[in-house]
Chains A and B, each alone.
Chain A
Amino acid sequence: MVIEGLLYTKDHEWARIDADVATIGITDYAQQMLGELVFVELPDVGKQCAGDDELAVVESTKAANDIYAPVAGKVIEANDELEAQPELINQDCYNAGWICRLQITDVKSVESLMDSKQYEEYLAGL
């Protein structure tokens, strides 16, 4: 499932851009691949990220995976709910399973992301 209006990376992160704030999560494809998530390491609020910097770690029963920052920015909020309920990402990856919000510091870094149509094409080619 791919949602219109979000932007996507090749690493299967999504970003919802709202003025200069980006909400970040992982896509339905990613959560399906990972299986039951049992642990999420959230970034500290205030952390500065260049695009592609490690932002968080999600771990399923089978694998640990890094989540990279889709855009350059400063972490202004993290979804603390995930610490007690990592399965929210499996249940609702585009809403309740959001990971953190970034204050975008480099608008240009948004331009390299795929829209939903491009991401769907990218998935079809995998």
Chain B
Amino acid sequence: MLQNDADKSQSSRAEKAPEQTALYDQHIGLTDKSHIVSFAGYLMPLWYSSIAAEHNAVREAAGVFDCTHMGILEISGAGAGEFIDLLTTNSITNLKPGRAQYSFILDTSGGVLDDVIVYRKDRDEFFVVVNAANNARIKNWINALLKDEICIDPEDAGRKVSTTPRVRDLRGTDCRDDCRVDIALQGPKSPDVLSVLIRDKEARLQVANLRPFEFMETDIEGIGCLVSHTGYTGAKRGFELFVHPDKASRLWEAILQAGRPLGLLPCGLGSRDSLRIEAGLPLYGHELAGEFGISPFEAGCGWAVKLEKEFFIGKTAMEQISREYDMKVARIELPAAKGIRPVRQNDGVLDKNRRSIGWVLSCARIGERQIALVYADRESMEENDAVGLYYSARSRSQIQQGRKQSIEKGELLEPDLTGKVVGRFAKF
């Protein structure tokens, strides 16, 4: 008993003892130690107050998240742009300095290594934010590419990485003053929190006017930050603040102090997951890659794969899969009244004829609804289509009573719950 989902999915990856983040002392001061779990090799709070309260704070006011475990890799110097265009699926041709974009890093056979955000600071200066769990892998991949250890184009062995930009891990101590970590401030009141903390009037106005995926550098409470209008909660207004790790705790405290009167709460991993599920945003290993090897197209993010580019690693495989795929990620809505069992990963998805057509990837309970992200037959997953749900067995006694532990596609099953397909993504 008492093993939480975050532990289960991440413990195999974290071989060494989990590390403390730059904000560990803040977590310990804000919540009971029993709420701190090991996630992607870091000790992080599952929640401070409660998942539901933190979720609601981000939807109605604001929330602040420790994202200092996220990987931040700088790629700069002559040829940096060329290298990023080869490394990632999106195109930087039209990416202006001060703007960011969602993208994918694929292996040579099209497998997703990570989903990332690429920030362009200047013509030849970029940084890429990668998932904490994939940080080491992406660093190794980039190093192997730069050392010419990988045949990047299966159809043209002569194709080489012709540029050698400088690559630095901005979370490494050798970056000294250039070190950066990520703190996210999300929700409708987040611009108000920043306006309390930004003293310069002009900068305050500029930050308030940032559009999605735009960023700028400014002082927040006297701390140098890169402020970006990005996030992972589906909030229309939300920021990520990139700050030196030595100043992260000061910034965190300042945000809490300025934000509390406006309804802001510190938010843990639990609400981060329920918010991104509600918004339909994929989590690597669940709605991307993972046991089903889900591609960007199936995940609903094919727009970030620019097949018109001359080349990127994994392009041949993407061309094929963009033409033919039978299953996709969909967002469905199910009831969650009292006494209704929570839907979980690997539960079965049924069409209106009770036929099994896929599986649940992630689910969150939000008030009186459960929102699930599922991987199911594309043709039965149009908006407003009726869907059924079958709980897979979670205990020995349920198996003894005849409940199935794993569900095959095509089986006829009695639905335990019924719901409907809703829009793939949602904004709040």
Contacts and interface: CB of A to CB of B under 8 A. Distances in A.
A59 B342 contact: yes
A61 B395 contact: no
A35 B51 contact: yes
Given A33-B34, A39-B342, A84-B339, A62 B2 contact: no
B338 interface: yes
Interface in B1-25: 1-6
A38 B342 contact: yes
A124 B344 CA distance: 32
B238 interface: no
Judged by DSSP, the binding face of B is loop
Interface residues of A, number: 27
Interface string B75-99: 0000000000000000000000000
A61 B342 contact: yes
A36 B51 contact: yes
A106 interface: no
B341 A30 contact: no
A8 B3 CA distance: 19
B394 interface: yes
B338 A85 contact: yes
A65 B394 CA distance: 9
Nearest to B397: A54
Contact of A61 (B52, B338, B397): B52
Given A83-B339, A86-B338, A35 B1 contact: no
A36 B52 contact: yes
17 contacts: A12-B1, A30-B2, A32-B32, A33-B34, A34-B2, A35-B35, A39-B339, A57-B395, A61-B270, A61-B364, A62-B6, A63-B2, A63-B5, A65-B3, A66-B395, A67-B1, A83-B339
Interface of B: 1-6, 32, 34-35, 46-47, 50-52, 270, 274, 336, 338-342, 344, 364-365, 394-397
Q: A-B pairs with the 8 shortest C-beta distances?
A: A65-B1, A63-B4, A39-B341, A11-B1, A33-B2, A64-B394, A59-B342, A61-B51
Given A11-B1, A57-B394, 10 more contacts: A29-B34, A35-B47, A35-B50, A41-B395, A61-B274, A62-B4, A62-B51, A63-B4, A64-B344, A65-B2
